[in-house]
Amino acid sequence: MTQSPSPRVEAVFWFLLTAAGYFLLASLSLYATKGADNIAAVWPPSGYFLALLILMPTSARIAAFAGMAAASVGANFHGGAPLWSSLAFTVSNGCEAVVALWILRHREPGELSFMVPRSVISFCIAAFTASVVSAALAWALAGKGPDFFLSWLTTVLLGMLIVTPPIVMLARMVGTNALTNASTRMKAEATAILTVTGLVSILCFSQAQFPVTFLPCIAVIAAAYRLGPFGAAAGMLIVTIIASLLTGQDYGPIAAIEGVQKTRVLFLQFYLLILLFTTLPLASLLIGRQRLAKRLEQSNRWLLQAEAAALVGHWRVDLVGWTITWSDQTYRVHGLEPGSPVDVDYSVQQYVAEDRLAVRKILLEAVRTGEPFEFQGRILRADGEIRHVKSHGSIEMARGGKAIAIFGTVQDVSETVENARILEAARSAAERVANTDMLTGLPNRRHTLASLEKALAGARDHGAPLAVAIFDIDHFKRINDTHGHAVGDEVIRRVAQRARVALRDEDMLGRIGGEEFVCILQRSSAQAAEIVAERVRKAVEAGTADTEGLPNATISVGLAVYDSEADVEELLHRADKALYVAKREGRNRLRSAA
């Protein structure tokens, strides 16, 4: 187990790393390319120091600032700047680091990533703002002219923009073992691309005969395209180092520019800025596009899996070119091999004739109104099987409000339709069982009374004629006691059959308990109701007498015609009273309620 260094050791480490690196880079920059007042064309120490501040722990930053201050004063003084100027430059460079770090911390609370366009923009804003603050402070402290402000601004800005990204990205790749895990082929490609970038830069800036400063741009763009942001940053750093060194030694096309040294330095800075803002954002956008492409590929893969699992496909009709596109699952729903040639007319013709016209009408209406649509129909698959499908979708509109395409989904709902049919059949069967008397097959008491309620409401609201006849089997207890319950049940069944046959189609017969039955005689006047009720009585009398093995059975009938009764109970009560009159008068007869 590796033991973490003590805070003191950690502070000393970052102090030395900052001081040594800052001093070497500052000395090299002042030596390589000097502008007016010993201001270098590029100031890499600013980028180096900002990169360390981003990477180091917060507790080590005080030591790092101390190391930076010592190295900056030493390098500037060693480069020929007066002590006061060296101190002023050091304070300015220290403030620029503070400002840049503060902006980055507030704009990017998490880890700064040069792979994300938003983070690259935040970094550029932080670098530019810090450079402006640093240049203004140095200009005020040093008492120089306006040109000094611009020269300082571009120098430290280039230093941060060019040096910070490759150091941060390289350190993180080392820390995450990305370099170790990279394939040999990838490492070889990166080495080759960056080597070519260096050779092209040397070729460009070591001669002034041919103005080929565009060649390094091509090399860096190629590095950005193949290696991403790190390739762009590393390539940019290589071009900067070579261009600065050779231009500082009066080699290359920039050194051949006529004029004072300041003009050549400003042109070099302008060249590097243009190259930087061409490649780094491009690399970041390319990475973003690659990530988006991977997410899109993954989303498409998940979509295909989801479509296959849910039996859902998607389709799109181009109304301009009159072409249709199917997903693989849409082909499967229609019983075709994915990729088979299909057209719009074929897609509609797949629907059975009974549904085809409705589908056309729904789609045409959706195109006309621009509203979403939904329909369900049956298709005849290529294998001859009829399947139920459900589609819904929307209309794609052009800017002028014209429909240009139809996008929709299609789902095989055959199993759902079949399950619904089975469920409905089961529900209907359960309802029949719940409403049916199991002995006779007639409506039971609950169903009979519910039907009578409905008939009574019709009579009350619309004045439709209505009559109710109640009958029961005469001396049924004697039949049960003499012949047994099995014979009694058979007598009940036979009475129910004969009574049902004697009724009209619009009439209803129900068993409401024991040997008691109710006839609902709709659209019947008093006279017609009496005729029907008497026919029932005679049918029962004749039917049971002709049945071999069963005792004779007769019924007594009580009839009540609707006369503005308030409810079913009142109407049944009148019929029941008439029934008891029939029983008292000798049974096997019909009596009507008063």
What are the residue numbers of the active site?
515
Residue 296: CB atoms within 10 A of its CB come to 10
Q: Which of 430, 547, 571 is nearest to 496 (CA)?
A: 547
| Cβ proximity of 334 and 379 under 8 Å | yes
R_g (Cα) of the chain, nearest Å: 49
d(CA 196, CA 502): 108
Residue 479 burial class via C-beta count within 10 angstroms: exposed 0-12, middle 13-18, buried 19 and up: buried
The dihedral of CA 389, 392, 396, 397: what is its sign? positive
278: helix, strand or coil: helix
Tokens of 510: 């129900």
Tokens of 11: 């502070």
d(CA 586, CA 554): 11
Phi and psi, residue 279, nearest 5°: -95, -45
Local structure of residue 255 (DSSP, 8 states): H
Terminal-residue alpha carbon distance, the chain: 108
Residues near 132 by beta carbon (within 8 Å), at least 6 away in sequence: 153
Q: Which of 172, 156, 155 is nearest to 119 (CA)?
A: 172
Phi and psi, residue 539, nearest 5°: -65, -40
Pairing, β 516-522 against β 466-473: antiparallel
d(CA 378, CA 307): 19
- DSSP E strands in 508-561: the ranges are 508-513, 516-522, 555-561
d(CA 46, CA 101): 12
| Cβ proximity of 498 and 543 under 8 Å | yes
| Cβ proximity of 508 and 470 under 8 Å | no
d(CA 23, CA 460): 108
| Cβ proximity of 517 and 508 under 8 Å | no
d(CA 40, CA 249): 13
Q: In what order do the strands lie in the sheet with 323-326?
A: 323-326, 312-318, 403-412, 386-397, 373-380
d(CA 537, CA 91): 122
d(CA 228, CA 563): 95
b/e for 555-580, b at 16 or more Cβ within 10 A? bbbbbbbbeebeebeebbebbbebbe
The angle that helices 184-205 and 229-248 make with each other, rounded to 10 degrees, is 30
